[in-house]
Amino acid sequence: MGEGKLLRRAARGCFFLGILLAILAIGLLAAALLASDGQVFAAARAAILRLQLSNRSSELSAPFSADASPIRFSIPSGTAAGAIAQALADASLIRDTSLFLDYARLEGYTRRFEAGVYFLNQTQSIKQIAEILTDSSKSFILFRTLEGARIEELAEHIDRNSLFGFSGADFLPLVDEGAPIPAEFAAWAGIPPGASLEGFMFPDTYQLPPGISPAGLRDMLLRTFQDRVGNATRDEALAQNLTLHQAVSLASIIEREAVWRDEHPMIASVYRNRLDIGMKLEADPTVQYGIQGARGRWWPQITRADYYDVQSAYNTYLQAGIPPGPIASPSLSAIRAAVHPAESGFYYFRAACDNSHYHNFAITFEEHLANAC
């Protein structure tokens, strides 16, 4: 056999051996990939995606805008990552849905997005939003109810807070006159049938769950009232022949009259002294309450003529005794003062002339007139 023929035969042998080795290598690689459960492919894809995103790091960290106004964002149960990305774009929280999804997939967030309600804003970046959407338990509504506010003002405060999923108009029917008051609380507080929950929306700062309902808000405010006021104060009022509802009614007037809390007990003493001798309370805030916002404000300036022109069951210039219900939400300080007033012989008080917002107190009407500015 010639040398050329031997070389050709050797070359063919090497060629077929190479093919055999290549087939064997492919088989081994396929077996390895199967054994790795696709992890090699996933790692390769992740490496490519990470490389692509490294060139867009500034976009991932950039906010949509400088507007920090909170935006209520909900993820219903079972929502796919793509739908979440589109909803974020529709809410003007992200600009690029594909970029959000690529980043979320790379970091494993798409498997961790959690159904719930979140409060986002346009100052947050894609990176921040993706992480936030994995834990709805950190979302809450910060809500402050104010001393001396009536329930209509509370409803307005709800409307000013964009985080609630309901309006003040949804809340009012649950606390206004004729509302279905929880029976156990009504019995504990001595609230008469048909009365409103005015005065019992305890003023405090609350961290509310994002999905809270109007009834849930009412119940939380009532629970806080009962916890903070307690049975001891209620029982002390009852021992003085006052229901807690009456004590809170008196406390609401004290709250509206006083600017400084350290005057609560002394102002309370004036009203308790008047009640003891059958004298009318003659409290200006009850006249304001009786106007019912008809002058464009809940607490308008009033004139002496209003004392007798405002026809209302709450007007203590016309009606004797404690009004039929509270006129606002009193603080715990005012409630305790109504039950434990200072000991004094005073029957009158008026604002001091030094703009301090304190009051001068008097025993007789003549002394009261002498305290005028």
Q: List pLDDT tens digits, range 213-263.
A: 999 999 999 999 999 999 999 999 999 999 999 999 999 999 999 999 999
Residues 168 and 262 in one domain: yes
Whether residue 252 contacts residue 199, with contact meaning beta carbons closer than 8 Å, is answered with yes
Q: Would you say residue 193 has pLDDT above 80?
A: yes
Q: Rounded mean pLDDT of 340-352? A: 96
Whether 125 is covered by a domain: the verdict is: yes
Nearest to 248 by CA among 287, 289, 198: 198
Q: Would you say residue 73 has pLDDT above 70?
A: yes
Whether 28 is covered by a domain: the verdict is: no
Look up the domain containing 320 and give its range. Answer: 151-342
Residues 242 and 196 in one domain: yes
Instruction: Among 93, 108, 138, identify where a domain stops.
Output: 138
Instruction: Among 111, 138, 165, identify where a domain stops.
Output: 138
Residues 100 and 191 in one domain: no
Binned at pLDDT 50, 70 and 90, residue 208 comes out as very high
Binned at pLDDT 50, 70 and 90, residue 29 comes out as very low
pLDDT at 19: 61
Binned at pLDDT 50, 70 and 90, residue 201 comes out as very high
pTM, full prediction: 0.77
pLDDT tens for 277-306 read 999 999 999 999 999 999 999 999 999 999
Residues 215 and 332 in one domain: yes
> Which 3 state secondary structure label does DSSP give 118?
strand
Question: Percent of the chain, pLDDT > 90?
Answer: 77
Q: Rounded mean pLDDT of 179-191? A: 95
Residues 106 and 65 in one domain: yes
Whether 252 is covered by a domain: the verdict is: yes
pLDDT at 49: 76
Whether residue 330 contacts residue 323, with contact meaning beta carbons closer than 8 Å, is answered with no
Whether 7 is covered by a domain: the verdict is: no
Q: Rounded mean pLDDT of 173-196? A: 95
Whether 195 is covered by a domain: the verdict is: yes
Domain harbouring 86, CATH code: 3.30.1490.480
pLDDT at 106: 86
Whether 145 is covered by a domain: the verdict is: no
Residues 111 and 213 in one domain: no
pLDDT at 33: 47
pLDDT at 6: 53
Cβ atoms < 10 Å from Cβ of 234: 22
- Domain tally, the chain: 2
What is the Cα–Cα distance from 91 to 75, expressed in whole angstroms? 13
Binned at pLDDT 50, 70 and 90, residue 4 comes out as low
Instruction: Among 77, 108, 138, identify where a domain stops.
Output: 138
Residues 179 and 305 in one domain: yes
